[in-house]
Amino acid sequence: MAKHLFEYRNGEDIELPLLIKSADIRIAKNGKKFIALILQDTSGHMPAKLWDASDAAIEQYKAGEVVHVRGKRELYNDNPQIKLYGMRLATQEEGNDPKYFLERAPEKSGDMEEDISSFVFDILNPNWNRIVRKLLADHHDAFFSYPAAKSNHHANGGGLAFHTLSILRLAKHVGEQYPNINVSLLYAGAILHDMGKTIELSGPVSTEYTVTGNLIGHIVLIDEEIIRACIELKIDSTQEDVVLLRHMILAHHGLLEYGSPVRPQLPEAQILHDLDELDASINMMTTAVAHVEGGQFSERLFGMDNRRFYRPEGIQHLSGSPKE
């Protein structure tokens, strides 16, 4: 079977089919147009530039197309990129269905669904349980296929469900360690907290913000879904437990500056925010560090206040759990 993109080494010649993740037309300082591409397969994504792009090329090479690429992997500002020798559209025979080229969460959709179901089972408050079940069903396909964000963290197919599941697992340990925490509320909030992204974002391929996403935002969009669920399930939304659940979602960005209309006023709401940040940070940091050699700093991470992270030189063998 063919090698994947990230299995090539620096300086090595490349020849493989890749999906165009994004394609921006820019004008070079010599007055000619070029296409700034991001190309991907399931192993990750890498930038490439198509210089002196003709109008035909611009028409042809759009986000969502699968292309057959020849080139060389090289380093630019310490980050890998593809120097293009040639490129053409892949044919149907070669396999040009975008879904086979998406980066994917590290667990299978079916496994994740099963795991999340077992967490739903532990939501003991009946109103929370019914609302969560209904919204999981309503948004099932998008929830298990969308990324958790346009870029930043978990920006891959299934990333939304995987990020949700990671938070649930952390939440379970927190519930065991601090017995006064209402675990049912924490689970219900965790499952719904980012589900509005299925409306805010355009989908798993060539992800963009929708107009509704820009003007309303995923926090209020999922709040709307909870209200609609209450009406359909004949749950009185003025009851305290529904108000608490809505508060969990509304407050989960932690600070007003980050787009939450209210700050966390329940211990569980603050904890959901903290676990959300923790999981997103770990995802961003470990991904970045994995892309550099020992003794090097990663690229600057926009989502981590533009910091670089260091990969130690001499102690990799100690990484991992103490059992290793």
Integer Cα distance of 182 and 297 in angstroms: 40
Minimum distance, C-beta of residue 13 to its own copies, in the bound complex (Å) = 16
- List the interface residues with its own copies, window 225-284 (CB under 8 A): 227-228, 231, 237-241, 243-244, 246-247, 250, 256-267, 270-271, 274-275, 277-278, 281-282
Binding mask 109-148 for its own copies (x = CB under 8 A): -------------xxxx-----------------------
- Does 220 contact its own copies by CB under 8 A? yes
CA–CA distance, 248 with 192 (Å, rounded to integer): 9
The C-alpha atoms of residue 308 and residue 78 are separated, in whole angstroms, by 12
| Distance of closest approach, residue 266 Cβ to its own copies, in angstroms | 6
Considering only CA atoms, which of 113, 109, 106, 86 is closest in space to residue 42? Answer: 106
Segment holding 74, helix H or strand E: strand 66-76
Q: Is 182 in the site for its own copies (CB under 8 A)?
A: yes
Q: Are strands 66-76 and 44-50 parallel, antiparallel or unpaired?
A: unpaired
Minimum CB–partner distance for residue 200 and its own copies (Å): 11
6 near its own copies, rule: CB under 8 A: no
Question: At 52, which amino acid appears?
Answer: D
Stretch that binds its own copies, among 108-116, 134-142, 151-159, 224-232 (CB under 8 A): 224-232
* Tokens representing residue 224 in the block: 């709307």
Site map 70..99 versus its own copies, x via CB under 8 A = ------x-----------------------
Tokens of 135: 């919204």
Residue type, 287: T
Residue 128 and residue 230 in contact, taking contact as beta carbons nearer than 8 Å: no
Instruction: Choose the stretch contacting its own copies; rule: CB under 8 A; options: 8-16, 90-98, 139-147, 219-227.
Output: 219-227
For residue 54, state whether it binds its own copies (rule: CB under 8 A). Answer: no
Closest to 58 (Cα-Cα) out of 98, 26, 85? 26
CA distances to 11, 122, 135, 185, 279 from 233, in Å:
60, 20, 11, 19, 32
Stretch binding its own copies (CB under 8 A), from 96-104, 109-117, 134-142, 180-188: 180-188
Which of 86, 214, 233, 299 forms a contact with its own copies (CB under 8 A)?
Answer: 214
The reply to whether 310 sits near its own copies by the rule CB under 8 A is yes
